[in-house]
Every structure is written in C-alpha cells, then in structure tokens.
Amino acid sequence: MLIYCSNVSEFRVCALANLTHTVANENRVAPWASLIPFSPSRLVTWLLLLIGVVLRLRVYSNGRSLWFDETLLALNIIHRSTAGLFRPLDYYQGAPLGFLFLLKLATKIGGNGEFALRAMPLLAGLLSLFIFWRVAELNLSPRAVPLAVALFALSPTLIHFSSEAKQYSSDVAVTLLLLWAATKFVGSSLTTSSLFSLSLLGAAAIWFSHPATFILAAIAATLLGSALLERNRTLLWQVLSVAAIWSASFLLCYFVSLRLLASNQALLNYWRDSFPPHPLASLRGFHWLADAARKLFDEPAGLVDFLGLALFVAGSLALIRRDRKLAGFLLIPIGITFLASLLARYPFGGRLLLFLVPILLMVIAEGVVWLSARFGRWSPALEIALMIALLFKPVSADIQELVHPNRGEDIKLAIRYIQAHQLPGDVWFIYHLARYQYWYYDELYQLSPATLRIGKDCGTDTACYTADLDQLRGNRRVWILFSHIWIGDGIEEEDMSVQHLDSVGKRLDRFSAHGARAYLYDLSAAPPTPAH
C-alpha cells in the first residue's frame, strides 16, 4: 500500500512514510533508523545493556571467596613464572595459554587477590555484552534483537561466570568476536586485507579459547559449502587459505598445550558423564541425548528447558529459511561440539558449554518472533507472552542475587573469624578438600598458624577419618576448618567429623558462612588407651 502525495511540498514526508511501511512489511530496519539514537527499540536495548553492566559489576564487587575450582587455577598462576605456564598445570587444571598469560599479567598489576584474578573474566563479560548486540543486529530480524539482548544481559550464568577466575567468560567473548568477524564478510568480497585480518584473528583465538576451534571449524565449513554450491573458485581458494592458517595454529597449539590436556585421564574421568554413550543409537543413548538437550537449556542457558528447546527449533527453521550461510555460522558450532563429545574430545555439558549460550539465545529470540508471526492478529499477544515466559526465570534469579548475593564457598569469612578469636598455641586442622583454598588465603593473609594439620582424604573409609581426627586429641584448643564439603557415597564428611569430635571433646565455638564452617574444640581429654 502506497500513501498518496497531493503536492510536491509533501513529497519528502510521503516518501519517508512509504519507505517505513515497506521496510516494516519486510521485517527489516531501514538504514536511516540506526541514525536515530533514541528510537524506542534502541533505547530499550541500551537500557538492557546498562542493566547487564550493572549486574556484572554488582557480582564482581561482592568480594566472595575464591571457590575450590578457582583456587586450583589461582595457585598455578601465583606459583609459576610466565614461562612456567607452558608446562602442564598442577591439580588437574587446564586452560588456554593466552588466558593464563592474561591472568598472570593481571596479578602482576593488581596483586594476587580475588579482584585481580577476576578482572580479565569481568572485562570479557562486559565486552561480550556489546559484541553480542552487534552480532545479533547482523544476524537476527530487528524485532528479535531487543529480546536477544535481554536474554544475554540478564542471563544468571553469564553474569556469574563474568566474575569467576576461570576461562569460561573469555570463551564467550572469543566466540562472539569470531561470529562478528565471520558475519561481517557475508555478502562482501574478501580483500587481501580482510583475509589477513580473518586469518590472524582465528589463529590467535585458538590460543585464548579452547572451543574457538569449534567456532572456526563451523565458519570454515559454512564458507566452504557456500563456495562449492555457488561454484565460486575465488571464494573456495580464499576459504582454504584461511582454513590452512587456522589449522596450522591449531596443530601448534595442540602439540604445545592441548595434547597433554586431551590425555589427562583424571579430567576425562571427572567429565565422563558428559560424553555420549556408545552405541549412541540405543535406548541408553536416546536417554542421554534427551537429558543433554534438557540440561543445555536449563544450565548453562538458564531458561525453562522445554520452552527454550522448542523456541530454539523454531528459530533454527526461521534462520535456515532466511539465510543458510548465517544459519550455518550459528547452528553448525553446536553440531561440531557434539561431534567432539562423541569422539570423547570435549565434554558436552555444564560450564564447558557456556560458549554456546550466546548462540542459543540468539536463535531462541528469532524463534519467538518467527513463531508469533504465524498467529495473525494474536501475534503481539503471543510474542509478549513468550517473552515473559522466557525472562521470568533469569529475572527471578537476578533479583534473588541482588537481594541475597550468592557467596559460594566463603571460606575467607571463616578464616577471618578464626584469626579474630584464636589464641597463641591454637591448632588449625584443615578439612582435606579445603586445603587448596586454605593455601591460597594462607599466602594472601599470611596466616602461618603455630600448628597446622591437613586432614586425610580417606574416601568412604569412616574409620580412617575418625583415626585422623584422633591425632588431634590432647590439645586444649583446636580449630576445624571446613569448605567444599563432600556429600555422597552415603557419607556427609562434615557431619561425620563433627559427631566424632563431639563424642571425644567439648565444642567451644562454631562459625558458619555460606559453604564454609569453623569449629573450636577442647580435645584435652586423655586419648583412649590402645587395646593390647
């Protein structure tokens, strides 16, 4: 439908109205729309980005203790030189060399505290917000962009990992940077300069993010398929040349770092439930696939699982119908990651899939717009209903975090309590799984108690645990420090230990923090005489 212009003086207004009407019908944003900084959609998007920044800074600033996994990596960073990071990490840890170097640089600048160790993940999390916005604008229909930004900005898992001293937040940032670079070249010729930039970016990304390999493989496969279908020899040779540089970088990284990590049996055993069973085409395999799909949208995506999965399928269909090349960039990484898991090379589960979350959220947002558009006059109501259903869970989690911040395993509060109440000659006993956190804070706070004992890891042998605690008897004041407490195999190690200590001594004090406890016991009663 065209708007009639009655005279020349009205021509510009009419032409603008006609252009707006045509663009709206095609579900596209007019080029001049981006020049209006305070259009409702853009204003909402900027507000969401600001909220995302505030939420990430809020979690970073709460100063919670490093938890078990963070301290394992932190001890490697603190105790090694920069050159020493090339060697296999202690405590069964693995992280990209580039990320390790950045963490080491952060500690040289800001010290060994939690804020310095979490600074790089925070920076990656903040940058990801704005890169995600740009990638969403390049790949999604305009109506889907604000919802995608909302899902990303408010995602509890993305917010949490932006303040954890691990590589998962930077994995997200690298994924988005590679998707942005690849999408920029769609529909445009690859010049020598752009080929060099894309080659260099991909080659460097492999050293800063392990799953960057999956993203690059998906980009190369998509562009290669496009070149073959179009019979474009120029593009074919360009893609092959770029892929060759990426492959060379990967092979070098593999022999320097990944080779030893891939053969680490302890890590493989830890993640064994995240590898598909063999044969996959079996009842057990079907159950594993269904459970893996459910968990992917529940955690790490942080959504209602069945709703997220349904809208992801709808969004995938919409993207494939609209632009197969863009769909390849977004969908093929998931397939390649699963293939790597099938080959027992990368776990398909938990925080290791955080890098896929921005892809999932973009496709889901597109699914909301595509699905609601199929319902005619009910389209606006359905779109709003789906948006509310999607955002309810993450928003609820964000509000909970603001009201009651998650302190994780807050062992430093228990340590400070012991410091404030200890007397000369007090004995410290550290629960075996808390030893890594203790070692980190021992150096940070210069604790150096007069007498220190580290508990034994006795597995499921309760007699071993009680015998280890009996070594403390005869001391008038003994502090028992717990964190990262094991519950499983029919045993709760803190409860078992406390029950035994209550039976052989007198409890003088107790301090409780989130995920950590400190007990003070008088164990001066004479130990039992050994039976002859």
Q: What is the pLDDT of residue 403?
A: 92
Among the ranges given (94-108, 168-182, 386-400, 487-501), the one the predictor scored with the smallest mean pLDDT: 487-501
**Residue entry with tokens 């923090």:** 513
Instruction: Determine the Cα–Cα distance for residues 138 and 144; give it in Å rounded to an integer.
Output: 11
Model confidence band, residue 51 (pLDDT cutoffs 50, 70, 90) = very high
Using CA atoms of 82, 87, 90, 95 in order, give the dihedral in degrees to the nearest 10.
70
As separate numbers, helices (DSSP H) first and strands (DSSP E) second, the chain gives: 23, 7
Whether residue 2 is predicted with pLDDT greater than 60 in this model: the reply is: no
Are 139 and 330 in contact by the 8 Å Cβ rule? The answer is yes
> Over the stretch 486-495, which tens digit does the pLDDT of each residue have?
887 778 899 9
Q: What is the pLDDT of residue 1?
A: 40
**Rounded average pLDDT over 167-191:** 86
Query: Closest Cα partner for 28 from 143, 151, 153?
Result: 143
Query: Closest Cα partner for 334 from 512, 250, 214?
Result: 214
Residue 235: DSSP 8-state: H
Q: What is the pLDDT of residue 267?
A: 80
Which residues, at least 6 apart from 151, have a Cβ–Cβ distance to it below 8 Å? 303, 361, 364, 365, 390, 391, 394
**Rounded average pLDDT over 156-178:** 97
Kindly list the distances between the CA atom of residue 75 and the CA atoms of 167, 269, 458, 497, in Å, as whole numbers in the listed order.
15, 22, 24, 27
- For the chain, what is the mean pLDDT? 89
Among the ranges given (120-124, 191-195, 348-352), the one the predictor scored with the smallest mean pLDDT: 191-195
Phi, psi (deg, nearest 5) at residue 427:
-100, 135
Residue spans of alpha helices (H) in 323-378: 324-342, 357-372
Phi, psi (deg, nearest 5) at residue 91:
60, 30
Which residues, at least 6 apart from 253, have a Cβ–Cβ distance to it below 8 Å? 97, 206, 207
Does the pTM of the predicted model rise above 0.85? yes
The top-scoring range by mean pLDDT among 264-278, 495-509, 518-532 is: 495-509
* 3 vs 287: which has the higher pLDDT: 287
Whether residue 20 is predicted with pLDDT greater than 60 in this model: the reply is: no
Whether residue 225 is predicted with pLDDT greater than 60 in this model: the reply is: yes
Q: What is the pLDDT of residue 189?
A: 62
* 476 vs 232: which has the higher pLDDT: 476
**Rounded average pLDDT over 510-528:** 89
Q: What is the pLDDT of residue 372?
A: 94
Q: What is the pLDDT of residue 16?
A: 39
Instruction: Determine the Cα–Cα distance for residues 104 and 95; give it in Å rounded to an integer.
Output: 13
Q: What is the pLDDT of residue 39?
A: 72
Q: What is the pLDDT of residue 14?
A: 45
User: E strands, 28-181, where?
Assistant: none
Among the ranges given (16-20, 443-447, 506-510), the one the predictor scored with the smallest mean pLDDT: 16-20
**Rounded average pLDDT over 331-343:** 96
Instruction: Determine the Cα–Cα distance for residues 182 and 179; give it in Å rounded to an integer.
Output: 5
Model confidence band, residue 8 (pLDDT cutoffs 50, 70, 90) = very low
Tokens of residue 63, six digits = 């100063």
Q: What is the pLDDT of residue 187?
A: 54
**Residue entry with tokens 């998931």:** 334
Q: What is the pLDDT of residue 398?
A: 96
Tokens of residue 261, six digits = 């990590």
Q: What is the pLDDT of residue 463?
A: 92
Among the ranges given (7-21, 419-433, 476-490, 514-528), the one the predictor scored with the smallest mean pLDDT: 7-21
**Rounded average pLDDT over 301-322:** 94
Q: What is the pLDDT of residue 306?
A: 93
Q: What is the pLDDT of residue 188?
A: 59
Query: Closest Cα partner for 469 from 502, 515, 436?
Result: 502
> Over the stretch 440-462, which tens digit does the pLDDT of each residue have?
999 999 988 889 999 999 988 88
Kindly list the distances between the CA atom of residue 470 and the CA atoms of 287, 487, 502, 528, in Å, as whole numbers in the listed order.
47, 22, 12, 9
Instruction: Determine the Cα–Cα distance for residues 412 and 255; give it in Å rounded to an integer.
Output: 39
Instruction: Determine the Cα–Cα distance for residues 70 and 93; give it in Å rounded to an integer.
Output: 10
Whether the bond into 40 is cis, omega within 30 of 0: no
Query: Closest Cα partner for 480 from 526, 517, 506?
Result: 517
CA atoms within 13 Å, Cβ hemisphere of 468: 21
Whether residue 338 is predicted with pLDDT greater than 90 in this model: the reply is: yes
Q: What is the pLDDT of residue 526?
A: 60
Q: What is the pLDDT of residue 528?
A: 57
Residue spans of alpha helices (H) in 140-191: 144-153, 156-161, 168-184
Model confidence band, residue 38 (pLDDT cutoffs 50, 70, 90) = low
**Residue entry with tokens 């939690």:** 114
> Over the stretch 89-100, which tens digit does the pLDDT of each residue have?
999 899 999 999
